[in-house]
Structure 1
């Protein structure tokens, strides 16, 4: 077992998972960098020199508010590099290439002083997911489980640091650190999964929970400085939440962020799916969150609007064809 994964296991085994929630009003340096460093120092993953860490920002599309901010991602990378980690930054956006999205939102420039660049989560490997036995929506998959094509880059690292922006989501209600792991599925295969499983939010959530469980340990660093509300994941409105959050567990961080927004852990489809896995002892059992810096009640989320009605995101043939065309066009551009 690697240093990074063994430390994550020790934290889980102890039954306590630290969560840090720090106030940060804007992205100005050095205030933002200081907040990220303090959050990760207080409740980040324990990373020893030589650990292979995949920093997984949310690069859904070339719209700055839809993505994790370049400043937060770069600060996370700087913190990891200071600890001697071997850092790789990568994603597989829903539209376009990771490198092109990073360039357009300013992430390429933010990573240049660190001598890092954004790569694609490609080289897919077929992985059969193990669904919750009590999944109410995925009965057709329970015997064999769905097969996801997951990037080898994600599977072969020691640790994943998921760096999402806190956003509303038209299908999952919220998208945060665990949902951000969906980008570990390579390229157009995400659209295929949306077409196949996206018709039922409950089934899609169970698949996402199983995907998280199939990956190496996933820590989280949330960009909640400027969140997205009303709808999402790409067409919502900005909301000044003023928060940076960190935890060695993406699940614990997401539950803390739900508490900031006044929601119980199982209020979202993905949260409910993770609760079912925890009840069955499927990799998320027997722990409690310990707030080591800040608490949910320290933040004012009044006015944060969630989607009133959840809609499926199944790609009908015309939308899927459009997605393919946009990817091909993006691949041909310099």
Structure 2
């Protein structure tokens, strides 16, 4: 049976408007959140530019909907640079969540999860122990993955510098890096997705691209299905998107076009004709020098936060 993916138009981040649209998208998504504890996982890449992170009003609207649904919520991430609290403060997320009585916490305290091709990966205990997860990414181009969406956003459940070590150990080796991303997502509790595509990032990314006004909010009970729908909207194929190709190879439900049913709006409601993605992807593997520089930048950003 096809998996519903709700696409709705939203021209800006006006709090009342985005609150209404996010609620409508989640209502139409087919997702029934658990009555227990839900981890809300935004993309808090770094403090600047704000475009590199999920917009605070989208996160706030998702949390308000979950609270109305009777859920207990934790908003958490492990940023690539800096601390979760520091990034959230800088982009206005702390202020946006304050009226809801919510704060932002770090994803740390890793538990080792075995990988099918050998070794293991550290995943935040807090994420593994939740009753459900809502991935709330921003639509962005990505210099290594071509685009980053709901499934890639869950890589933030791997705490801190461990992400860089995964790049170094598994990048560019028989699809192992993409496989690790898929297996991190599979290790988590049931995961739904809400996409911030109101103002996307294109040309390059995930942190230094250009704004693209797409005016889209998307939601689904399946991050895989939402990602496949958005990649289709952008005119991409699995062969062009390494993570999507790996999901399709593994037969992940929602990864193939026939697995998805669009609800509310169709593809023609959104103009993605000028959305640019990187033509040639950078290597996924970090060389030792790159790993060292990345680690030092992370430590410096965390200290400054």
Q: State if a TM-score over 0.5 links the two structures.
A: yes
Could you say which residue in structure 1 is the equivalent of 2:296? 325
SS in 1 for 2:184: helix
Could you say which residue in structure 1 is the equivalent of 2:86? 100
The answer to whether structure 1 residue 245 and structure 2 residue 231 are counterparts is no
SS in 2 for 1:187: coil
Alignment of structure 1 residues 1-334 onto 2, 5 Å: 15-43=1-29, 45-49=31-35, 51-63=36-48, 64-130=50-116, 141=117, 145-200=118-173, 202-278=175-251, 288-333=259-304
C-alpha deviation, 1:149, in angstroms: 0.3
Question: 1:172 touches 1:205 (CA, 8 Å); kept in 2?
Answer: no
5+ residue gaps, structure 1: 1-14, 131-140
Distance 2:259 2:279 in 1: 30
C-alpha deviation, 1:296, in angstroms: 1.8
Question: 2:155 touches 2:181 (CA, 8 Å); kept in 1?
Answer: yes
Question: 2:138 touches 2:200 (CA, 8 Å); kept in 1?
Answer: yes
Distance 1:232 1:330 in 2: 19
C-alpha deviation, 1:194, in angstroms: 1.3
Count, aligned residues: 303
C-alpha deviation, 1:265, in angstroms: 4.4
Write out per-residue CA displacement over residues 125-164 of structure 1, whole angstroms, 9 at most, x where no aligned residue: 000023xxxxxxxxxx3xxx33110000111111110000
Write out per-residue CA displacement over residues 156-200 of structure 1, whole angstroms, 9 at most, x where no aligned residue: 111110000001111111100000010010111011111112245
5+ residue gaps, structure 2: none
Question: 1:129 touches 1:210 (CA, 8 Å); kept in 2?
Answer: yes
Distance 1:297 1:128 in 2: 42
C-alpha deviation, 1:264, in angstroms: 3.2
Distance 1:256 1:267 in 2: 14
Give the TM-score normalised by structure 2.
0.94
Could you say which residue in structure 2 is the equivalent of 1:10? none
Question: 2:191 touches 2:222 (CA, 8 Å); kept in 1?
Answer: yes
Distance 2:217 2:174 in 1: 28
SS in 2 for 1:30: helix
Larger displacement relative to structure 2 (183-192 or 195-204)? 195-204
C-alpha deviation, 1:88, in angstroms: 0.5
SS in 2 for 1:262: coil
After superposition, the CA RMSD in angstroms is: 1.9
Write out per-residue CA displacement over residues 19-51 of structure 1, whole angstroms, 9 at most, x where no aligned residue: 1000011111211111101000110520243x2
Distance 2:174 2:14 in 1: 37
Question: 1:20 touches 1:39 (CA, 8 Å); kept in 2?
Answer: yes
Alignment CA distance shift 1:201-1:293 (3 Å): farther
C-alpha deviation, 1:203, in angstroms: 2.8
SS in 2 for 1:302: coil
Distance 1:217 1:48 in 2: 9
SS in 1 for 2:175: helix
Question: 1:172 touches 1:201 (CA, 8 Å); kept in 2?
Answer: no
